[in-house]
Chain A
């Protein structure tokens, strides 16, 4: 038989080996026609209708204008698929040239430590990306031995995000609150008023998968009392953490108080963030705590007057850079990949992302014509520039997300006290460092 058939047979044989090992990867097929024209392969998981998705589509257009001889293959996958199989995808022989991945020691850190991503420190300096990405926006782009916060650059974020309360202005007005509370005690007094009126103050969730609202409320309370150093010690595992001391103790005990007083509603351990969002949008809760996801939803769907505010009087606010674009170590077209990433940070694309409602890292907020989007972006800029973001709590150690979720459920169901949670947290975190 001919050589083609034999190659086909080998491919099929390979597929047969891969299938039982659950390696169903979309990116496995070799790019055809590699002999002549080049193909830039980008593996990413942003919904094409989101600001970042729209921005990257424009970046692809700009790239094609610049490199008419290169075909761009913008592959769409899912966040979970990359989280779970990036190690396998990137260690294969047919890897994408640009890959989007989650930040944090558990994800980006591992990929970097395992040599699957190209260190791009020189490129970052050469192309001036470090001028655009500064402070806490940069923290999770750099990894040293898999730990974020310093070392070589392995990826570049395009956007930032922050976690705020979104509130129903009409329900607020109903209890006589015409503006957001200015401090946590004021917020608590307001929530008592809501309860007296039979309104759930905060629509929340704690399901194992995607029920992250409780975790974000808890960590926002911890962040409210934390200093920059305390958060960085925890996040970048720089120094031993005593979870039985403040801000952990204060924030967690207050969180338990909130659960006990039913501020976050009842029977939420089976709900996910989508259900919590829908509950808020259908006015079954005065507030919901989330990031830009709810901003976009509310803008499109809310049938009431709404606004947002960060945890009142907080030292630090939960938030971070967005997911990262990196270049796999085995990528074939690295220079083209850098060109593409450069375009995503260009003025045109960044401003487009901003105009579409995304929190562009290097955009000019004054160019945003939509009032709501501009106000939302302007709320973020001082946090970014003042280095006041506390990141997400699940970054420091592998498996932290599931662990925290399990305990959020226990606390929300009244099966665990704040002290028990803090003790478990201490144990898991310390064990995670040793791994």
Chain B
């Protein structure tokens, strides 16, 4: 819909003179994309930077210029740094664990389960791992708030049943709440690498595995010598997208803990939201978003450069 609107607008822009060479005409085809980029990315980004240089309560209230004041304050804000530390936990839960476990699972499903038990079982298991990804996050969040519930929660019921005398107060204790969130995120994220890696394994020449089998290579050495090197591009893509996801994580925090207890699970995007909407500190919230956007951009570019070098070698 947006595209059609943009096309209409683009079409109304002054057309290049007919006699001119063919070259400028190609720009007309770029116009829809350029307008879309301008409206959806560039303008909001510039506005956000503009907001962040002001103290502003939003709405019709007055904007006061503070220059880089919000950024200076941000650097000294312990909650902001706490939110960064929590981002490291998010990276473990969204990038490290799911990617490693996903690799193992994909390999087991593809190289062991599919040939020995059957394709359908492997496909069923793959689908099951992916299921959390298609559940609406609100549903998943509420489900996990029941699972992690201190008194009647499923997790603590299991822990009590196996003899844990005092199971953790998952969402109520500042020391463990972040781990509760990590559990949910691992569950949520796992299916994504499994599906990508299994698709990738499909493109690996089966004769390599067959040759390895003939030579008597174990599953583990096939995994380390064939699977890992062959899957390098996919591992890279999964790591990059998951890393960006980990830096932006928001909804699970909002639903499970609201940044609590005692502010122990606050993450940057939630902190930005809270300042922007709840505390009416629009400029400060915008500053947090900008720092995060910059950080994500730097990391993404860094990883892309790294990957290009790696593939060039």
A residues contacting B by CB (< 8 A) are: 1, 5-6, 8-10, 12-13, 15-17, 19-21, 83-85, 87-88, 90-91, 106, 110-111, 113-116, 206-209, 267-271, 275, 398-399, 402, 405-406, 409-410, 413, 415
B278 and A399 within 8 A (CB): yes
Q: A12-B5, A16-B5 are in contact. Are A116 and B60 (CB under 8 A)?
A: yes
Q: How many Å lie between the Cα of A417 and that of B44 in the bound state?
A: 45
A110 and B173 within 8 A (CB): no
Q: A6-B8, A115-B60 are in contact. Are A402 and B278 (CB under 8 A)?
A: yes
- Residues in chain B near residue A9, CB distance under 8 A: 4-5, 8-9
In this complex, which of A5, A269, A406 has the most chain B Cβ atoms within 10 angstroms of its Cβ? Answer: A269
Question: Quick check: is B1 within 8 A (CB to CB) of the other chain?
Answer: yes
- Which of B194-202, B215-223, B239-247, B255-263 lies on the face that meets chain A? B255-263
Q: 17 A-B contacts, Cβ less than 8 Å apart?
A: A1-B8, A12-B5, A13-B2, A15-B1, A87-B59, A115-B60, A206-B172, A207-B257, A208-B257, A209-B260, A267-B151, A267-B172, A268-B172, A270-B172, A270-B257, A270-B261, A402-B259
B260 and A88 within 8 A (CB): no
Q: How many Å lie between the Cα of A115 and that of B198 in the bound state?
A: 58
- Residues in chain A near residue B234, CB distance under 8 A: none
Q: How many Å lie between the Cα of A222 and that of B180 in the bound state?
A: 35
Q: How many Å lie between the Cα of A21 and that of B174 in the bound state?
A: 32
B39 and A398 within 8 A (CB): no
A328 to chain B, nearest CB (A): 11
A119 to chain B, nearest CB (A): 14
Q: A398-B280, A413-B172, A413-B262 are in contact. Are A113 and B9 (CB under 8 A)?
A: no
- With both beta carbons as reference points, the residue of chain A lying nearest to B255 in the complex is identified as A209
Question: Quick check: is B100 within 8 A (CB to CB) of the other chain?
Answer: no
A90 and B59 within 8 A (CB): yes
Which of B172, B277, B279 has a CB less than 8 Å from the CB of A271? Answer: B172
Which of B57, B169, B174, B262 has a CB less than 8 Å from the CB of A267? Answer: B169
In this complex, which of A20, A110, A206 has the most chain B Cβ atoms within 10 angstroms of its Cβ? Answer: A20
Q: A9-B5, A406-B263 are in contact. Are A270 and B59 (CB under 8 A)?
A: no
A116 and B59 within 8 A (CB): yes
- Residues in chain A near residue B262, CB distance under 8 A: 269, 406, 409-410, 413, 415
Q: A208-B259, A409-B262 are in contact. Are A398 and B173 (CB under 8 A)?
A: no
Counting residue pairs across A and B whose Cβ atoms lie within 8 Å, the total is 134
Question: Quick check: is B61 within 8 A (CB to CB) of the other chain?
Answer: yes
A399 and B169 within 8 A (CB): no
Q: How many Å lie between the Cα of A271 and that of B146 in the bound state?
A: 11
Q: How many Å lie between the Cα of A8 and that of B7 in the bound state?
A: 13
- With both beta carbons as reference points, the residue of chain B lying nearest to A84 in the complex is identified as B277
- Residues in chain A near residue B44, CB distance under 8 A: 17, 20-21
Which of B8, B40, B260, B279 has a CB less than 8 Å from the CB of A405? Answer: B260
A306 to chain B, nearest CB (A): 22
A208 and B260 within 8 A (CB): yes
- With both beta carbons as reference points, the residue of chain B lying nearest to A208 in the complex is identified as B260
Q: How many Å lie between the Cα of A209 and that of B256 in the bound state?
A: 9
A17 and B43 within 8 A (CB): yes
**In the complex, how many residues of chain B place their beta carbon closer than 8 angstroms to a beta carbon of chain A?**
42
Question: Quick check: is B184 within 8 A (CB to CB) of the other chain?
Answer: no
Which of B6, B43, B58, B279 has a CB less than 8 Å from the CB of A87? Answer: B58
Which 10 A-B pairs give the minimum distances between C-beta atoms? Answer: A208-B260, A270-B172, A87-B59, A270-B171, A269-B172, A208-B258, A12-B5, A209-B258, A399-B279, A84-B277
- Residues in chain A near residue B258, CB distance under 8 A: 207-209
B21 to chain A, nearest CB (A): 29
Q: How many Å lie between the Cα of A16 and that of B1 in the bound state?
A: 9
B169 and A270 within 8 A (CB): yes
- With both beta carbons as reference points, the residue of chain A lying nearest to B275 in the complex is identified as A399
B172 and A207 within 8 A (CB): yes
- Residues in chain A near residue B151, CB distance under 8 A: 267
Q: How many Å lie between the Cα of A301 and that of B136 in the bound state?
A: 31
B residues contacting A by CB (< 8 A) are: 1-2, 4-6, 8-9, 36, 39-41, 43-44, 47, 57-61, 148-151, 169-174, 177, 257-263, 274, 277-280
Q: How many Å lie between the Cα of A409 and that of B172 in the bound state?
A: 8
Q: A21-B44, A84-B278, A409-B174 are in contact. Are A13 and B261 (CB under 8 A)?
A: no
A245 to chain B, nearest CB (A): 26
A77 to chain B, nearest CB (A): 15
Q: How many Å lie between the Cα of A95 and that of B257 in the bound state?
A: 33
Which of B39, B263, B278 has a CB less than 8 Å from the CB of A16? Answer: B39
- Residues in chain A near residue B148, CB distance under 8 A: 270
- Residues in chain B near residue A16, CB distance under 8 A: 2, 5-6, 36, 39-40
Q: How many Å lie between the Cα of A15 and that of B6 in the bound state?
A: 12
A270 and B1 within 8 A (CB): no
- Residues in chain A near residue B4, CB distance under 8 A: 9, 12
B59 and A207 within 8 A (CB): no
B261 and A208 within 8 A (CB): yes
A413 and B260 within 8 A (CB): no
- Residues in chain A near residue B61, CB distance under 8 A: 87, 110, 113-114
Q: How many Å lie between the Cα of A415 and that of B40 in the bound state?
A: 45
B5 and A13 within 8 A (CB): yes
A12 and B260 within 8 A (CB): no
Q: How many Å lie between the Cα of A378 and that of B207 in the bound state?
A: 85
A20 and B40 within 8 A (CB): yes
Q: How many Å lie between the Cα of A346 and that of B60 in the bound state?
A: 33
- Residues in chain B near residue A275, CB distance under 8 A: 149
A24 to chain B, nearest CB (A): 12
A44 to chain B, nearest CB (A): 20
B274 and A402 within 8 A (CB): yes
B59 and A88 within 8 A (CB): yes
A269 and B261 within 8 A (CB): yes
A13 and B59 within 8 A (CB): no
A270 and B170 within 8 A (CB): yes
In this complex, which of A10, A87, A106, A116 has the most chain B Cβ atoms within 10 angstroms of its Cβ? Answer: A87
Which of B41, B57, B257 has a CB less than 8 Å from the CB of A110? Answer: B57
B261 and A15 within 8 A (CB): no
A107 to chain B, nearest CB (A): 10
Q: How many Å lie between the Cα of A93 and that of B52 in the bound state?
A: 25
B59 and A406 within 8 A (CB): no
Which of B1, B6, B60, B149 has a CB less than 8 Å from the CB of A114? Answer: B60
A282 to chain B, nearest CB (A): 10
- Residues in chain B near residue A116, CB distance under 8 A: 59-60
A398 and B150 within 8 A (CB): no
A91 and B260 within 8 A (CB): no
A302 to chain B, nearest CB (A): 20
Q: How many Å lie between the Cα of A160 and that of B39 in the bound state?
A: 46
- With both beta carbons as reference points, the residue of chain B lying nearest to A211 in the complex is identified as B260
- With both beta carbons as reference points, the residue of chain B lying nearest to A21 in the complex is identified as B44
